[in-house]
Chain A
Amino acid sequence: MSVLLEKHIVELLQERNEKAISLLYEHYGDTLFGVAYKVVKDHDLAQDIVQESFVKIWKKSDSYDSSKAKLFTWLFRITRNTAIDKLRSVNTKTDKEIQMDVSDVYRIGVESTRPELMDVREHLDKLESKYQIVLDALFFQGMTQQEASDELEIPLGTIKSRLKIGLRELKKIYGSSMVLLSLISIWS
């Protein structure tokens, strides 16, 4: 997203102008939906989470501090935390049901990927799964490197090096796809 547009949205948020939410949804809706889905692995639940998150974003709009985090980081935190809370409450209620849903819904999620994002997804596929696992653990599961090492049964040193390489690869990927991403922003 262009710095100017981001600034404009932040201003609208602080003015409590509903247009801010509309713009945020247009530019970050899909990404935040992906984040929610990544955490809960359930299409319907992810939808609820996005809705709840946007309401929270609206309610907390005057608490956003651009000196502390980029706009996306702030949106990500709200969405991810909402997703984790949802997951906890659902897990305590119907543990098994969700487990069953996961495999069914995952497919829908992939199918409903925006065609214009397919290239990005291809890029993602370029990122070897061993790096993706570590990046997922870091960004979405919120594990510490030590926890990831324990969870994935990979030595801590390997986690560290995979993270480093993964991030470098990622930079290469989005370095080339940034143009595409900004184009998407203009289209939407």
Chain B
Amino acid sequence: MKDKIKIFLDSDLLEKYLIGSTTKEETLQVERYIAMHPEVREMYLELQENLEAYAKLHAIKTPDGLKEKILSTIKAQNSLRKRFTRYAVAASVAVFIFAGSSYFFWDQNQNLMQENTIVSNKIKTLEEDMREQLEDVRNQFIVLNNPLTKKYNVKGNKNARDLKAIAYINPVKKLSYLNLRNLPELPEDKCFQMWAEVNGEMVNLGVIKEITDKEKLLALPYAENAIGYITIEQKGGNMAPTVENIVANINY
């Protein structure tokens, strides 16, 4: 250990460190030695004292005005730094506001774009609905107006005596409509469901809700020799008609 310290002290590294001419690695090495070995620390302290004393022996009176020059340079730098700090703060605030407003506008843009998609989808759906309804109204008009349209009165069987409906069938235009005039009251858990047998297949036409508009015409799928049925089913409708519950049939 002693040898190590002697080698270190002989290496001049401490002297180089003293006057500030060591490399980064050397500096770390020297500082480690100073921290770890009291004799190195003592030597370093002594060298510092010697350096100060020796340097003082070489003191030369500074030229007049140098002090003022230095102080004014430092003052100028300080105010520059303060100004810079002010600008930096202002710039930071500006950046913050810019970032905030950018986000705000981006968010708004995003919302508007979303709304736009929703609105355009709605318009599309409305358009389709309208076309369908218009087509339906046109067909209804044709059916009702056409002299070739046959009108059938449909009545319910014994299970639904009050059921009254009128079917309009036009074999030329291949259109058929049903106008429900009256539906008998059903228990809470039952409902009427409409079916059509078209080309040998049973088509579910859906559950009949309460009659809100007596003038309303319900479209039936057209086929030659098709049969329409109305059945009583469990509330919510059924996948296939319950044959024994058929209350009315419409041949067309």
Enumerate chain A interface residues (CB-CB to B < 8 A).
Answer: 18, 21-22, 25-26, 29-31, 33-35, 37-38, 43, 46-47, 50-51, 54-55, 58-59, 68-70, 72-73, 76-78, 80-81, 109, 112-114, 117, 120-121, 123-124, 127, 135, 138-140, 142, 144-146, 167, 170-171, 173-174, 178, 181
Distance of A5 Cα from B87 Cα, bound (Å): 37
Distance of A43 Cα from B73 Cα, bound (Å): 20
Q: A55-B70, A139-B51, A167-B50 are in contact. Are A109 and B60 (CB under 8 A)?
A: yes
Kindly list chain A residues whose C-beta atoms are within 8 Å of the C-beta of B50.
167, 170-171
Asked if B19 is at the interface (CB within 8 A of a chain A CB), the reply is yes
Distance of A33 Cα from B60 Cα, bound (Å): 6
Q: Which of B74-82, B93-101, B128-136, B219-227 contacts its partner?
A: B74-82
Kindly list chain A residues whose C-beta atoms are within 8 Å of the C-beta of B187.
none
Partner of A142, one of B19, B53, B69, B75: B19
Q: Whole-angstrom distance from the CB of A82 to the nearest CB of chain B? A: 10
Q: Whole-angstrom distance from the CB of A45 to the nearest CB of chain B? A: 12
Report yes or no: B31 in contact with A142, Cβ–Cβ below 8 A. no
Q: Whole-angstrom distance from the CB of B250 to the nearest CB of chain A? A: 99
Kindly list chain B residues whose C-beta atoms are within 8 Å of the C-beta of A68.
31
Q: Whole-angstrom distance from the CB of A46 to the nearest CB of chain B? A: 8
Report yes or no: B66 in contact with A30, Cβ–Cβ below 8 A. no
Kindly list chain B residues whose C-beta atoms are within 8 Å of the C-beta of A33.
59-62
Partner of A50, one of B12, B20, B62, B78: B62
Report yes or no: A21 in contact with B70, Cβ–Cβ below 8 A. yes
Q: Whole-angstrom distance from the CB of A26 to the nearest CB of chain B? A: 8
Distance of A22 Cα from B72 Cα, bound (Å): 11
Kindly list chain A residues whose C-beta atoms are within 8 Å of the C-beta of B77.
55, 58-59
Q: Whole-angstrom distance from the CB of B26 to the nearest CB of chain A? A: 12
Enumerate chain B interface residues (CB-CB to A < 8 A).
Answer: 12, 15-16, 18-21, 31, 48-63, 66-67, 69-71, 73-75, 77-78
Report yes or no: B66 in contact with A51, Cβ–Cβ below 8 A. yes
Query: Which 5 pairs, one residue from A and one from B, show the smallest C-beta to C-beta distance?
Result: A77-B20, A174-B53, A34-B58, A30-B59, A144-B12
Distance of A100 Cα from B31 Cα, bound (Å): 41
Partner of B61, one of A30, A55, A123, A138: A30
Kindly list chain A residues whose C-beta atoms are within 8 Å of the C-beta of B54.
135, 139, 170
Partner of B60, one of A37, A51, A72, A127: A37
Report yes or no: B20 in contact with A76, Cβ–Cβ below 8 A. yes
Report yes or no: B51 in contact with A72, Cβ–Cβ below 8 A. yes
Kindly list chain A residues whose C-beta atoms are within 8 Å of the C-beta of B52.
31, 70, 72-73, 76
Q: A113-B60, A123-B57 are in contact. Are A145 and B31 (CB under 8 A)?
A: no
Report yes or no: A124 in contact with B58, Cβ–Cβ below 8 A. yes
Distance of A73 Cα from B47 Cα, bound (Å): 10
Most-contacted residue by chain A among B59, B62, B71, B78 (CB, 10 A): B59
Report yes or no: A76 in contact with B51, Cβ–Cβ below 8 A. yes
Distance of A144 Cα from B77 Cα, bound (Å): 38
Partner of A174, one of B20, B57, B58, B75: B57
Distance of A81 Cα from B66 Cα, bound (Å): 20
Report yes or no: B59 in contact with A117, Cβ–Cβ below 8 A. yes
* Chain A to chain B contacts (Cβ below 8 Å), 27 pairs: A18-B75, A22-B71, A25-B67, A25-B70, A25-B71, A26-B67, A29-B66, A35-B58, A38-B58, A50-B66, A55-B74, A70-B52, A73-B48, A76-B52, A77-B20, A80-B19, A113-B60, A114-B60, A117-B59, A139-B19, A167-B50, A170-B50, A170-B54, A170-B57, A171-B50, A174-B53, A178-B53
